């Protein structure tokens, strides 16, 4: 519903009329029931007629509200509101102006006043936005600060609305000046809600494509990565940290790779050791972090042998 409101500079006569021309980006709902006039607090119905080229003609609206002046002529002075239904292009950025003309007679012949500029169309923001996108009033750009609402953007479309509480799959930062919901990391179905924007990185539950959950680190991993290095799949896709000094393991008792910088860098029978037992010798492969040490058996008939 649009409203054009003005106060009369020159009194409108008993039989006065008004014409309104809508801009090209406005589509009028052309029936008399969708248009009426309010004079102060009095509503006047069935006075609108819709002509060609986006024209609204209003006649007979002032007869019931006109008062007799000293000259004996009945005139109306005061606030005039014209309300009508219309649909615009949902783009305030390229708004165009209405034009309005008042007439001395219901035949629309003798003009009194005319406004041809400044009556811009404006699509008001939809609830619960405080401010909105110039092209779409249903897309919020900010929320009412006195209503404790959070701005939340849809993960797929990017359209934003205002929420009294962030949905599942979002978190928030209570320290931020502008309240906003932050989407959880793509690997998380839900994430922490400790009041920090960094909570988005810490999963509480995993997304469908990330079913391997490392609870201690609040991380989820996909089916290609599975449990990361230094952990193993303990049960039902739950990642558990390997024993101390074990870079990679099969389970909590079976190490597959020992930390080359620890005091027990040598793998022997699934365990990490500082030295090899008799008939075994240390053997190293790789360099740096990729250096792998293990105890290998000496060839017969050696009781001891060199590293290699």
Q: Specify the range with the lowest mean pLDDT, choosing from 46-50, 84-88, 119-123, 180-184.
A: 119-123
Position 32 pLDDT exceeds 60: no
* pLDDT computed for residue 41 by the predictor: 85
**CA distance linking residue 195 with residue 123, whole number of Å:** 35
* pLDDT computed for residue 11 by the predictor: 86
CB 44 within 8 A of CB 78: no
Look at residue 16 and tell me if it is in a domain. Answer: yes
Q: Are residues 79 and 143 in the same domain?
A: no
Give the end of a domain, one of 167, 187, 220. Answer: 220
Position 121 pLDDT exceeds 70: no
Look at residue 306 and tell me if it is in a domain. Answer: no
Q: Specify the range with the lowest mean pLDDT, choosing from 58-72, 96-110, 176-190.
A: 58-72
Pairing between strand 42-44 and 35-39?
Answer: antiparallel
The values of phi and psi at residue 184, to 5°, are: -65, 160
Look at residue 302 and tell me if it is in a domain. Answer: no
Q: Which has more pLDDT, 120 or 157?
A: 157
Look at residue 181 and tell me if it is in a domain. Answer: yes
Look at residue 303 and tell me if it is in a domain. Answer: no
* pLDDT computed for residue 17 by the predictor: 94
Q: Assign 300 a pLDDT band (cuts: 50, 70, 90).
A: confident
Look at residue 60 and tell me if it is in a domain. Answer: yes
Q: Specify the range with the lowest mean pLDDT, choosing from 44-48, 94-98, 111-115, 204-208.
A: 94-98
Average pLDDT over residues 104-119: 89
Average pLDDT over residues 191-195: 92
Q: Are residues 189 and 289 in the same domain?
A: no
Buried residues in 17-53 as b, exposed as e (16+ CB within 10 A): bbbbbbbeebebebeeeebbbbbeeeebeebbbbeee
CB 108 within 8 A of CB 19: yes
- Domain hosting 96: range is 2-120
Position 242 pLDDT exceeds 60: yes
Give the end of a domain, one of 89, 120, 151. Answer: 120
DSSP 194-259: SS-GGGGGSEEEE-TT--EEEGGGTEEE-TTT-SPTTEEEEETTEEEEPPTTEEEEEETTEEEEE-
Q: What is the pLDDT of residues 65-95, one digit of tens each?
A: 888 776 778 899 999 999 888 776 666 666 6
Q: Assign 287 a pLDDT band (cuts: 50, 70, 90).
A: confident
Q: Are residues 67 and 116 in the same domain?
A: yes
Q: Specify the range with the lowest mean pLDDT, choosing from 65-74, 147-156, 279-288.
A: 65-74
Give the end of a domain, one of 76, 100, 120. Answer: 120
Q: Are residues 37 and 78 in the same domain?
A: yes
Q: Specify the range with the lowest mean pLDDT, choosing from 66-80, 170-184, 195-209.
A: 66-80
Q: Assign 134 a pLDDT band (cuts: 50, 70, 90).
A: confident
What percentage of the chain reaches a pLDDT higher than 70? 93
**Which residues are bridge partners to 284 per DSSP?**
293
Q: Could you give the 3-state DSSP secondary structure of residue 1?
A: coil
* pLDDT computed for residue 3 by the predictor: 83
DSSP 303: S
Position 33 pLDDT exceeds 80: no
**CA dihedral defined by 22, 28, 30, 34, rounded to 10 degrees?**
-100
Look at residue 147 and tell me if it is in a domain. Answer: yes
**Average pLDDT of every residue of the chain:** 87
DSSP 3-16: EEEEE-SSPEETT-
**CA distance linking residue 236 with residue 221, whole number of Å:** 13
**CA distance linking residue 248 with residue 223, whole number of Å:** 18
* pLDDT computed for residue 68 by the predictor: 73
Q: How many domains does the chain divide into? A: 3
Q: Are residues 172 and 111 in the same domain?
A: no
**CA distance linking residue 64 with residue 14, whole number of Å:** 8
Position 187 pLDDT exceeds 90: yes
If one counts every other C-beta atom within 10 angstroms of the C-beta of residue 268, the result is 19
* pLDDT computed for residue 126 by the predictor: 82
The domain that holds 111 is classified in CATH as 2.60.40
CB 203 within 8 A of CB 191: yes
Q: Are residues 146 and 250 in the same domain?
A: no
Look at residue 24 and tell me if it is in a domain. Answer: yes
CB 268 within 8 A of CB 245: no
Q: Which has more pLDDT, 85 or 35?
A: 35
Q: Are residues 13 and 94 in the same domain?
A: yes
* pLDDT computed for residue 6 by the predictor: 87
Name the strands in the sheet holding 48-50, side by side, starting at the edge strand that comes first in the sequence: 48-50, 55-59, 17-21, 97-103, 111-120
């Amino acid at each position: 519903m649009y409203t054009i409101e003005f106060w009369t500079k020159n009194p409108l006569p008993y039989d006065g009329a008004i014409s309104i021309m809508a801009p090209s980006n406005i589509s009028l709902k052309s029936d008399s029931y969708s248009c009426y006039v309010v004079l102060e607090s009095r509503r006047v119905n069935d006075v609108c007629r819709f002509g060609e080229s986006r024209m609204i003609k209003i006649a007979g609206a002032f007869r019931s509200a006109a008062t007799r002046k000293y000259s004996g002529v009945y005139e109306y002075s005061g606030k005039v509101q014209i309300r009508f239904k219309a649909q615009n292009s949902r783009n305030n950025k390229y708004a165009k102006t209405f034009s309005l003309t008042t007439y001395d007679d219901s035949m629309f012949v003798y003009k009194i006043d005319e406004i041809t500029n400044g009556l811009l169309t404006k699509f008001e923001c939809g609830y619960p936005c405080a401010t909105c996108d110039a092209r779409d009033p249903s897309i919020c750009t900010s929320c009412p600060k006195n209503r404790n609402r959070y701005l939340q953007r849809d993960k797929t479309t990017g359209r934003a609305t205002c929420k009294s509480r962030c949905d599942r799959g979002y978190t928030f930062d209570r320290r931020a000046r502008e309240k906003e919901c932050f989407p959880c990391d793509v690997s998380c179905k839900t994430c922490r809600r400790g009041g920090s924007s960094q909570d988005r990185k810490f999963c509480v539950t995993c997304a469908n494509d990330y079913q391997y959950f490392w609870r201690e680190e609040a991380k989820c991993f996909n089916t290609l990565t599975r449990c990361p290095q230094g952990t193993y799949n303990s049960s039902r896709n739950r990642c558990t940290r390997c024993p101390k000094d074990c870079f990679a393991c099969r389970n909590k008792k079976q190490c597959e790779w020992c930390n080359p910088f620890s005091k027990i860098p040598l793998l022997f029978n699934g365990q990490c050791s500082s030295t090899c037992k008799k008939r075994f010798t240390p053997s190293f492969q790789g360099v740096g972090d990729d250096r792998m040490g293990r105890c290998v058996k000496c060839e017969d008939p050696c009781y001891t042998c060199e590293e290699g």
